[in-house]
C-alpha cells in the first residue's frame, strides 16, 4: 500500500473502475442509488457502519491520514470549484431541500444528537487553534463577493418562504418563554463580559466605530429609522385618529410618567399602548409595564393595552370598537 493512502492497489483499481462506470454507463448510477437506499434502510448495516467508523476514528494513524487528505483536498482550487457548483445545484433542488429539512427536524428532536453536538461544540470552542482557524475562514468568506452574494440570495429566498418565517418565529417564541434557555443565555453573556479579553475587544471596537464618520452616519440613520412608527403603529394610528387620539410614540419630548405613550387622548386622559410580542411579553418587562401603568394612573390617566394580537392585519373597525368601549368606560 502506498504511504499515506487508505487503499491497496487492488482497491484503487476497483474504485477507478467504479468511477469509469459512473461516468459512462447510463443505468449504473440508478443501480447504485437503488442499492444505497436499500442499504441505508437496513438497521444492521447502519449499526455495522457506525461501529467500523468508530473503530477507524479511534486509530491515530487513520485520523492523521484523514486530516492530511482533507487539507490537501481543501487546497485544490478545482475540487473547491466542483464542490461549490454541486452545492448550488443541490440547493436549487426542491426534493433535496425537502429531504434535508426532514432530516434536520428529526435530528432536532433527538436528545442524544443534541447532547453530542453541544459537547462537540464546547470542545471545539475551547481549542484556540480551532477558534483562530474558524475566524480566518470567516474573514476570507467576508471578503469574497461571490460568497456574500450566495448568502444574500439564500437569505432572500428563505425570507420569502412563509413556512420558514413561521418556523423561525415559533422557535424564537419557544426560546423566549423557556426559562432554561433564558437562564443559559444570560449566564453566557455574563461569563463573556467577565472575560477581560472579550471586554477589551468590545471596547476597542466601540472606540474605533465612534471615530469612523461612516459608522456615525449609519448610526444616526438607524436612530432616525427607529423613531419612525412601525407598520402596526401606522395601522393603529389610522384607526384611532378619527377618535381623537394622537400618536406620541416617536415624540421624545412628550412623556407621561417619564415615558412616551403610544396613543393619547389628552381630553379624556386615556392612553392606549400597542404592545409588541417580543418586548412586552418578557417577564421583566411585564413588571416594568405594570409599574409604569400605576405611575400614570396616579397622575390621573387611564391606561389600556392593545395586545400583540392587534397588528397591521387587524381590521380598523375592530380596533375602533375595542377603543370605543374603553372611551365609554370613562364617561
- Give the CATH number for residue 304: 3.40.960.10
pLDDT at 321: 92
Number of domains in the chain: 2
241 with 322, same domain?
yes
The last residue of a domain, from among 142, 160, 178: 160
Q: Is residue 137 part of a domain?
A: yes
Q: Walk along the chain (331 residues) and give the pLDDT tens digit of each residue.
A: 444 456 678 888 888 888 888 777 878 878 888 888 888 788 888 888 888 888 887 888 888 888 888 888 878 888 888 888 887 787 778 888 888 888 888 887 888 888 888 888 887 777 888 888 888 888 888 888 888 888 888 888 888 888 888 888 888 888 878 888 888 888 888 888 888 888 888 888 888 888 888 887 877 776 666 567 778 888 988 999 888 888 876 555 578 888 888 888 888 889 998 877 666 566 677 888 888 889 999 999 999 988 878 888 889 999 999 999 998 887 5
* 153-to-27, 138, 166, 208 alpha-carbon distances in Å: 35, 18, 19, 31
Cα atoms found within 13 Å of the Cα of residue 89, Cβ hemisphere only? 6
315 near 236, Cβ under 8 Å? no
pLDDT at 225: 61
pTM, 2 dp:
0.39
Q: Is residue 168 part of a domain?
A: no
The last residue of a domain, from among 121, 142, 160: 160
Range of the domain at 121: 110-160
Task: Please name the residue that has the C-alpha cell 467576508.
Answer: 142
Q: Is residue 320 part of a domain?
A: yes
197 near 128, Cβ under 8 Å? no
Q: Is residue 6 part of a domain?
A: no
Task: Please name the residue that has the C-alpha cell 387620539.
Answer: 245
Q: Is residue 85 part of a domain?
A: no
Angstrom distance (rounded) from CA 80 to CA 85: 9
Task: Please name the residue that has the C-alpha cell 487508505.
Answer: 6
Cβ neighbour number for residue 314 with a 10 Å cutoff: 16
What is the separation of C-alpha 188 from the centre of its chain, rounded to a whole number of angstroms?
17
pLDDT at 249: 61
305 DSSP β-pair partners? 273
Q: Is residue 275 part of a domain?
A: yes
Closest CA to 261 of 253, 249, 269: 249
Angstrom distance (rounded) from CA 5 to CA 270: 79
Q: Is residue 70 part of a domain?
A: no
pLDDT at 3: 47
Amino acid at each position: 500500500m502506498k504511504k499515506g493512502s487508505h487503499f491497496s492497489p487492488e482497491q484503487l483499481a476497483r474504485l477507478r473502475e467504479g468511477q469509469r462506470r459512473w461516468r459512462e454507463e447510463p443505468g449504473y448510477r440508478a443501480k447504485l442509488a437503488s442499492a444505497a437506499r436499500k442499504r441505508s434502510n437496513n438497521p444492521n448495516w447502519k449499526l455495522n457502519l457506525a461501529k467500523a467508523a468508530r473503530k477507524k476514528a479511534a486509530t491515530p494513524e487513520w485520523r492523521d491520514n484523514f486530516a492530511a487528505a482533507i487539507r490537501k483536498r481543501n487546497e485544490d482550487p478545482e475540487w473547491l470549484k466542483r464542490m461549490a457548483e454541486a452545492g448550488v445545484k443541490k440547493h436549487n433542488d426542491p426534493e433535496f431541500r425537502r429531504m434535508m429539512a426532514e432530516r434536520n427536524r428529526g435530528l432536532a428532536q433527538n436528545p442524544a444528537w443534541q447532547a453530542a453536538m453541544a459537547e462537540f461544540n464546547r470542545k471545539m470552542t475551547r481549542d484556540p487553534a480551532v477558534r483562530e482557524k474558524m475566524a480566518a475562514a470567516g474573514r476570507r468568506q467576508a471578503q469574497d463577493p461571490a460568497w456574500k452574494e450566495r448568502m444574500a440570495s439564500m437569505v432572500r429566498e428563505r425570507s420569502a418562504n412563509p413556512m420558514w418565517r413561521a418556523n423561525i418565529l415559533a422557535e424564537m417564541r419557544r426560546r423566549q418563554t423557556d426559562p432554561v434557555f433564558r437562564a443559559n443565555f444570560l449566564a453566557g453573556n455574563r461569563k463573556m463580559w467577565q472575560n477581560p479579553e472579550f471586554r477589551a475587544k468590545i471596547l476597542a471596537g466601540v472606540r474605533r466605530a465612534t471615530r469612523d464618520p461612516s459608522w456615525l452616519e449609519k448610526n444616526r440613520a438607524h436612530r432616525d429609522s427607529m423613531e419612525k412608527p412601525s407598520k402596526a403603529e401606522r395601522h393603529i394610528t389610522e384607526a384611532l385618529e378619527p377618535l381623537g387620539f394622537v400618536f406620541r410614540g416617536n415624540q421624545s419630548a412628550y412623556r407621561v410618567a417619564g415615558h412616551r405613550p403610544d396613543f393619547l387622548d389628552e381630553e379624556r386622559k386615556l392612553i392606549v399602548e400597542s404592545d409588541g410580542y417580543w418586548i412586552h411579553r418578557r417577564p421583566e418587562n411585564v413588571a416594568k409595564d405594570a409599574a409604569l401603568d400605576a405611575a400614570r394612573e396616579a397622575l390621573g390617566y387611564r391606561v389600556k393595552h392593545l395586545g400583540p394580537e392587534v397588528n397591521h392585519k387587524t381590521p380598523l373597525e375592530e380596533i375602533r370598537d375595542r377603543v370605543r368601549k374603553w372611551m365609554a368606560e370613562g364617561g
